Amino acid sequence: MTIELTKRQEHIIEIVKSEGPITGEQIAERLSLTRATLRPDLAILTMTGFLDARPRVGYFYTGKDSNELIKAEVNKKIVKDYKAQPIIISESSSVYDGICTLFLEDVGTMFVVNSKGHLAGVASRKDLLRATLGKQNLTEIPISIIMTRMPNIVTCTMEETLLEAAKKLIDYQIDSLPVVRPVEVNGRTQYEVVGRVTKTTITKGFVELGNEAVI
């Protein structure tokens, strides 16, 4: 993904690069344009980070190319701003309860919590499907039997970037991450589930980034 600049915006950057600091009036004069005509271009170049502006001094070239600017914008996308509501089930619930929750909430993964409300495990669509094979009574099998338990669970925090979360989804080949907040209980670290990040979450963030990058 690259930021598309107009020919005039590219010309403005070259002028500022070679003559900066330079005022808007001076740039307009170089281009034989009015200051009002130039104002939208200067605003775009400043907002996207190509130029920096200082009152009573003028415009400076930042020295950053479009790839660097995009990388900086990507790193501004933080999990806490995009996390979705977590789908949670108690570890005392049955596999049948888990299947019902899965389909009612239309998700691929549920987060299992203990009696204190802390993360105990994760139950995926595959886990539940596997449990249905055979002649077991699903109402009598606790979901804790078939879930993936802590500490074998990949998590993320609210302060991580969407890029970091996306890498975890890819590296561990999972479709959902619990967003957790660490809490200390009797000298041990437990995790409160405060959200979830899915492939849909990641897609939303980067589609938004793409729209922001369109000039």
pLDDT at residue 44 in the model: 84
Q: Beta-strand (E) ranges in the chain? A: 51-54, 58-61, 88-90, 109-113, 119-124, 148-149, 156-157, 176-185, 188-198
pLDDT values of the chain reduced to their tens digit, one per residue, 215 residues: 446 778 898 899 899 888 878 899 999 999 999 988 988 888 888 877 788 888 878 888 887 665 555 566 677 889 999 999 999 999 999 999 999 999 999 999 999 999 999 999 999 999 999 998 888 899 999 999 999 998 899 999 999 999 899 999 999 999 899 999 999 988 899 999 999 999 888 888 877 765 654 43
Give the class (CATH, top level) of 79-200.
alpha beta
pLDDT of residue 214: 40
**What's the CA gap between 94 and 139, in Å, rounded?**
5
The domains of the chain are located at 7-68, 79-200
Residues whose CB falls within 8 Å of the CB of residue 141, separated by 6 or more in sequence, listed in order: 94, 95, 96, 131
pLDDT at 100: 94
Evaluate whether 79 touches 161 at the Cβ level (below 8 Å). yes
Q: May I ask the CATH class of domain 7-68?
A: mainly alpha
Strand partners, 112: 89, 121
The answer to whether residues 158 and 79 touch, using CB atoms and an 8 Å cutoff, is yes
* The pLDDT value given to residue 213: 46
Q: What is the dihedral of CA 70, 72, 74, 78, to 10 degrees?
A: -160
